[in-house]
Each structure stands twice: as C-alpha cells, then as structure tokens.
Amino acid sequence: MALLITTQPYAQQEIIKGITRVICEHSPNSRRRFQEKLHNLAALPSTDVVVTGYNESFSHPEFTLAWYRQNGNPDLHPLERQEGPFMIGVMVFHDFEDCWCTHT
C-alpha cells in the first residue's frame, strides 16, 4: 500500500545518496525502470514496503527492503498497523541488462 523510508537517520542519508546516484549517473532507461520498480512496490495491496538501507555490492547499487503487512485497523496510525516484517530482500541494479530486479 505504501513505500516508506526507514526512520534511522544514517540509513536515510545513505538511501538519499543512492537515489541521487541513480538520478545523476544512470541512463534514462535505468532511471525510468527504477521509478517503475518503486511504483510497483508501492502498489502492493495491504502491504507496506520499507527501504531500510543502501549499499554498493560489486559496484552495483542495491537498496535493502522489508515488507510489512497491515492489520487493517483504521483506528491505528499507519506505522502501528504494520505486522512483520514478513519478508526481506534487495532491489539491485544489473548493468548488463540496464534494469532493476528485486530479490527476496
């Protein structure tokens, strides 16, 4: 239902650094696919995806992710409705295909 960024300040700085790198250094096709991947992650029903960090593995940018279910209680704040995480993974850039893939 939502795409969120962690509340940890250092991780937020690293995530912003990673997003800035994608915007400034990647091809237009890579940037478009990055935006599409984020949009698709945010469109999952009854699920929040939290970007928890950024790393470069073998010179490939990767964003770490955690998936949380929402318990559906409308009286609670959205962060209080989260249950989990029930799955963790990464969104990695593959330069040989100029695309972004999610691995869990």
B/e letters for 46-82, b = 16+ CB within 10 Å, e = fewer, are ebbbbbbbbeeeeeebbbbbbbbbbeeeeeeeeeebb
Residue 76: pLDDT band (50, 70, 90) is confident
Task: Please state the domain extents for the chain.
Answer: 2-103
Residue 54: pLDDT band (50, 70, 90) is very high
The pLDDT score that the predictor gives to residue 83 is 77
Give me the mean pLDDT over the 72-84 stretch.
73
Residue 79: pLDDT band (50, 70, 90) is low
List alpha helices for the chain, DSSP H. Answer: 9-25, 28-42
